[in-house]
C-alpha cells in the first residue's frame, strides 16, 4: 500500500516551511500533486516543480483547485490518496506529526476516510467559522446519515474511490466538494469512515510566518477575524455553497463505479 498527497494551495508565505518539511513529507507520501491559483508567482511554481516528487498544475479557475489536484494525483499511481488543504496540512505536520502519520496508516486500510476536527482543534477557530460551519455540517451530516465535521479540508480515498469521485464530480464546486465528495462515496456504496483529529487546527494565523503560530497568536488573529463583518458574510456564503452542492449531488445521477481489479489498484 502507498499513499500520495493531492492538495490545493494558494501560497501565503509558507514556501520556506514547505522546503523544510519536504523530506519529512516524502517519508510518508510517494508523491505530491499540487494545484495552484491562476495568479501564482511563476517563479514560485518553478521552485515547487524543482522539488523531488512534486507535480504542480496552475488552474485556469481557482474554483477548480481541489478537483484538479485530485485529477493530477492519478498520475502518481499510489494505491491511496489524501486530499488536504496545504496550509492546514503544513501546520498539522509541524504540530502533531505522530497523529498525522497514524492517520495515513489508517487511511490505507479503507476506501474513504473523512477527517474532522476534535473539540480542541475547533476551539482554535474564529467564531465566524464555528457558527457557520455548524449549519453546513448539520445539513450534510443529515444527508450522510451520520454526524460529521465535513469542513476540515482533509479526506482520504483509495484509488478506486478517487476515480469514482472524478467520474461523478463537477469542476468548479470549490469548497462545495466538502459535501460533494463524501456524498458521492455514500451513494456509490462505499463505506464512509470518519475520524476526528487534533492536528486540523485553524491555520490562517500561520501566514507569512516561519513556523506554526502559537495559541496566543491564533487567538489574537481569530479575534481580529471575527471583528470584520465581511468575514462573517463570506463564511455564511461558503456554508450556503456547501449545502447547495450537497443537495445538487444528492439529486444528480451518479455513474457506476469505474472498473477496477484488486481493491485499491491503479
Average pLDDT, consecutive stretches of 10 residues, N- to C-terminus, the chain (266 residues)? 97 96 98 97 94 96 97 95 97 98 98 98 97 97 97 96 94 95 96 98 96 96 98 98 96 70 39
Contact (CB, 8 A) for 30 and 81: no
- Close Cβ partners of 189 (under 8 Å, ≥ 6 residues apart): 257
Q: Where are the alpha helices (DSSP H) in 38-176?
A: 42-50, 65-73, 86-95, 97-107, 119-122, 127-144, 159-168
- The DSSP annotation for 131-168 comes to HHHHHHHHHHHHHHTS-----SSEEEEEHHHHHHHHHH
Edge-first strand listing for the sheet containing 80-84: 54-58, 32-36, 3-8, 80-84, 154-158, 112-117, 193-197
Extents of the domains making up the chain: 3-251
Determine the CATH number of domain 3-251: 3.90.550.10
Residue 265: its pLDDT value, please? 41
Contact (CB, 8 A) for 264 and 160: yes
Beta strand pairing call for 32-36 and 112-117: unpaired
Amino acid at each position: 500500500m502507498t499513499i500520495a498527497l493531492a492538495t490545493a494551495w494558494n501560497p501565503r508565505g509558507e514556501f520556506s516551511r514547505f522546503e523544510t518539511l519536504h523530506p519529512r513529507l516524502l517519508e510518508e507520501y510517494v508523491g505530491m500533486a499540487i494545484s495552484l491559483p491562476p495568479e501564482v508567482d511563476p517563479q514560485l511554481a518553478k521552485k515547487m516543480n524543482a522539488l523531488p516528487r512534486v507535480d504542480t498544475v496552475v488552474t485556469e479557475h481557482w474554483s477548480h483547485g481541489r478537483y484538479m489536484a485530485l485529477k493530477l494525483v492519478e498520475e502518481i499511481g499510489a494505491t491511496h490518496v489524501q486530499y488536504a488543504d496545504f496550509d492546514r496540512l503544513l501546520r498539522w505536520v509541524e504540530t502533531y506529526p505522530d497523529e498525522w502519520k497514524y492517520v495515513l496508516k489508517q487511511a490505507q486500510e479503507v476506501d474513504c476516510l473523512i477527517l474532522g476536527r476534535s473539540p480542541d482543534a475547533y476551539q482554535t477557530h474564529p467564531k465566524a467559522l464555528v457558527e457557520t460551519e455548524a449549519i453546513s455540517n448539520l445539513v450534510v451530516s443529515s444527508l450522510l446519515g451520520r454526524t460529521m465535521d465535513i469542513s476540515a479540508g482533509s479526506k482520504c480515498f483509495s484509488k478506486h474511490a478517487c476515480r469514482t469521485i472524478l467520474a461523478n464530480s463537477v469542476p468548479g464546486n470549490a469548497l462545495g466538494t466538502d459535501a460533494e465528495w463524501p456524498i458521492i462515496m455514500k451513494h456509490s456504496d462505499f463505506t464512509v469512515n470518519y475520524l476526528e483529529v487534533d492536528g486540523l487546527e485553524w491555520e490562517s494565523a500561520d501566514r507569512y510566518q516561519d513556523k506554526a503560530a502559537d495559541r496566543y497568536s491564533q487567538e489574537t488573529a481569530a479575534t481580529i477575524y471575527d471583528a470584520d463583518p465581511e468575514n462573517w458574510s463570506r463564511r455564511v456564503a461558503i456554508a450556503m455553497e456547501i449545502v447547495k452542492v450537497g443537495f445538487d449531488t444528492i439529486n444528480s445521477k451518479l455513474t457506476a463505479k469505474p472498473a477496477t481489479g484488486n481493491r485499491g489498484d491503479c
